[in-house]
Structure 1
Amino acid sequence: MLNASNRAFRIARRERRTGNLPEVLVWRELRKRPGGLKFRRQHPLGEVVLDFVCLERRAAIEIDGLAHDRGDRPLRDLNRDASLQSRGFAVLRIPAAFVLKDLNAAIGGIVAFCLKQPPLHHQPAAGGPPPRSGEVF
């Protein structure tokens, strides 16, 4: 189950209304469902809010500005990534400068990363699921 705190819900709601330019540009493309994938924006998970997430592939995408290179942020990001990985999520971090420089490459990288992750639910076998108890074919 994917639960989130009330605080995370409030932050996510606020971030959806504001948002910075790189995130807005990425969302404009991800909402078109590239590669047939569905993404969510500013998704609360536990105590954190993910910039973007593809739940069917358990992939979290973070757009990192310059603040992520300063102070204790690199260590906090490592701890956050480890926490997400322990919950079954793969994490992709993309610098905001890269998004602004080449949006198409950033979107292509996100889609490729997500498609490499195994799907949460597997397709049934070619003949379909086995018959239920008592069914005769």
Structure 2
Amino acid sequence: MVSTSIRRAIAKKLRANTTPHERILWRALKELPLEGTHFRRQAPIGRYVVDFFCPAKRLIIELDGGHHNDDEAAERDRERQLWLENEGYRVLRFWNSEITADLTAVLERIYVELYGSREADVAPLKHRRRG
């Protein structure tokens, strides 16, 4: 298992080298009028570093580029997602092309995952720190 300090260093490096699609989604997540919704980017969870994480809802958002079509990468993604889901996280995956083609649809899907429906009222989200 990789130490916590190494995972944090990796996450910091990834935050400094975000992809254009990650930057687009990050700006959009920060502009959403969702009171109390807090996302982290390139957050270490277990032995992985996830693209975006909402601790209050244990929601992870992953962006996938074309290299995720490769059989080996797809298998690693599947194993990673299974581990995260077994730990109680929900994982949403989007292709980079979805971010550029229809960002509004991506944000609506995220909203539904956070609040249950497109018509749901925004409610402050609070996460509980695990000891």
Q: TM class, shorter-chain normalised?
A: 0.7 to 0.9
- Structure 1 gaps, min length 5: 122-137
Superposition pairs of residues 64-75 of structure 1, within 5 angstroms? 64-75=64-75
Aligned residue number for residue 12 of structure 2: 13
Aligned to 1:62: 62
2:33 and 2:87 map into 1 onto residues whose CA distance is 25
C-alpha distance in 2, partners of 1:15/1:88? 24
Distance 1:22 1:86 in 2: 28
User: With structure 1 as the length reference, what TM-score do the two structures score?
Assistant: 0.77
Normalising to structure 2: TM-score of the pair? 0.80
Across the two proteins, how many residue pairs are aligned to each other?
A: 117
Percent identical pairs in the alignment equals 32
Distance 1:34 1:83, change over 3 A: farther
1:29-86 residue CA offsets vs partner (Å, 9 max, x unmatched): 1123443321111111121111001100000000111111113111111110111011
Task: Report 1:1-137 matches (<5 A).
Answer: 5-36=4-35, 37-116=37-116
Distance 1:64 1:53, change over 3 A: same
Instruction: Please report how far the alpha carbon of residue 120 of structure 1 lies from its aligned counterpart in structure 2 after TM superposition.
Output: 7.3
CA RMSD for the aligned pairs? 2.0
User: Any gaps of 5 or more consecutive residues in structure 2?
Assistant: 117-124
Structure 1 runs of 4+ with >3 Å offset: none
Counterpart CA distance in 2 for 1:86 and 1:80 is 10
Q: Greater CA deviation, 93-102 or 69-78?
A: 69-78
